[in-house]
Amino acid sequence: MVRGQLHGIARYALELARRLPALAPDLEFSALVPAKGLPDDLGELTPKIPLHRSRAGYLSPTEQPLLAYELTKLKPDLFHATSFSLPLFWPGKLVATLHDANHLALADQYTPVQAIYYKAVVGPRARLASALITVSDFSREELGKYLKMSPYRFQVIHNGVDSRFQPPTASEAKAFRERHELPERYIAVVGNAKPFKNLAMLGKFAPDLPVPLVLLAGKGAVAHETGLHENVIDLEQLPETEMPLFYGAAAALLLPSKYEGFGLPALEAMACACPVITSDTSALPEVVGNAAIQLPPNDARAWHEETLRLLRDSTLRKDLTERGRQRSARFTWDTCATRTSTVINRALQLKPSRQ
């Protein structure tokens, strides 16, 4: 799952890979990575553990037999699946992190193959896992509902924010904007073209804003697919080291998703002193608390009005900035890794499950 512009699941895997070995020095860690290897611009997120290139491409016809073959060859005492690729044909101890249930809850937005995969592979193998983790109370309830299992089989361990996400100095923010030819004031937007990310809604009022939206979505086609044309700058992709600058140099972050298992960009922006406006649905209220403006995802008029208010009201911006930094400080990758290490150690002590 680690390829191109990092999304939440990829960041989760990398943040754990850099922390878990130090927390469990009696264990040896290694990682399965894509056949082409990892991106070269991961910076501090580059894992320092042995990497094994896997030919088991996600959702490919050969994924499951290759995954079973590779794990049988590596002979791990435990496999931690950090995404939805669970090894159906490998009978060893498994800890699985399922971040959300959107492939089932939003089945009409995915291919039939993806929904079938979740029902035929993820659900059955998850029921036999030594331990299950998810990232929010919302996702725990959704996974229990759609996988038809007790939600309390899942332990909730929140994602975190790395200490690299800090407010930039004025000169750092200025240099970042100049380097990418961005105006002095802009509004940050992250996401992709999937309908539940709801970027098209922003296009209804983007032309009427006094500052542009800067869209970071990993590929230039997203703006076209979502109808974000007027008053929008498509940044396409940034090196990982510049993500704190992208948030910290922005006047605000808009996150209009209709469905999120967590909503990591909101926390990362808050940590960088960037005020956030987000949807009032799925896991987002659980994550942002009272530190962000929350709005119905389909109310374009409300999003327009609140964005203008945030741009014009310095007192509101200061208040959201302070609350946001306090809120984001409660979520750390160190805590996530420590709790995950406990789950792994406990699973290692269990007797192997019967397949």
List, in sequence order, the alpha helices (H) in 239-299.
243-248, 264-271, 284-288
Amino acid, single-letter form, for residue 199: L
| CB contact at 8 A, 3 and 10 | yes
Read off the pLDDT of each residue in 119-145 and give the average, rounded to a whole number: 95
Contact partners, residue 119, CB within 8 Å, separation at least 6: 104
Question: Hey, what long-range contacts does 116-123 have (CB within 8 A, 24 or more apart)?
Answer: 117/59, 117/84, 118/84, 121/64, 121/86, 121/88, 122/84, 122/86, 122/98, 122/147, 123/147, 123/148, 123/149
pLDDT digits (tens, 9 = 90+) for 178-234: 999 999 999 999 988 788 999 999 999 999 999 999 998 766 556 666 667 788 888
Give the pLDDT score at 224: 61
In the chain the domains, ranked by start, together with CATH numbers, are 8-160+333-349 (3.40.50.2000), 170-328 (3.40.50.2000)
Query: Which single residue is written with the structure tokens 């070995």?
Result: 21
Give the pLDDT score at 352: 58
CA dist 91 → 35, 61, 268 (Å): 23, 20, 37
- pLDDT category at 328 given cuts 50, 70, 90 is very high
Give the pLDDT score at 354: 47
Distance CA 79, CA 63 (A): 16
- pLDDT category at 108 given cuts 50, 70, 90 is confident
Distance CA 188, CA 210 (A): 14
Summary mean pLDDT of the chain: 91
Percent of the chain predicted with pLDDT > 90: 73
The yes-or-no verdict on residue 5 having pLDDT over 70 is no
pLDDT digits (tens, 9 = 90+) for 33-90: 988 888 887 888 889 999 999 998 877 889 999 999 999 999 999 999 998 899 999 9
The yes-or-no verdict on residue 145 having pLDDT over 90 is yes
Reference 31, options 71, 72, 63, 86; nearest CA is 71
- pLDDT category at 355 given cuts 50, 70, 90 is very low
What DSSP designation does 352 have?
P
Contact partners, residue 152, CB within 8 Å, separation at least 6: 140, 144
Distance CA 291, CA 275 (A): 8
Give the pLDDT score at 280: 97
Report which of residues 263 and 354 the model is more confident about: 263
| pTM: predicted TM-score of the whole model, two decimal places | 0.91
Give the pLDDT score at 218: 65
Reference 7, options 337, 261, 276, 256; nearest CA is 261
Distance CA 135, CA 154 (A): 9
φ and ψ at residue 154, rounded to 5 degrees: -100, 135
Give the pLDDT score at 221: 54
Contact partners, residue 73, CB within 8 Å, separation at least 6: none
Residue 24, judged by CB atoms within 10 A of its CB (0-12, 13-18, 19+), counts as: middle
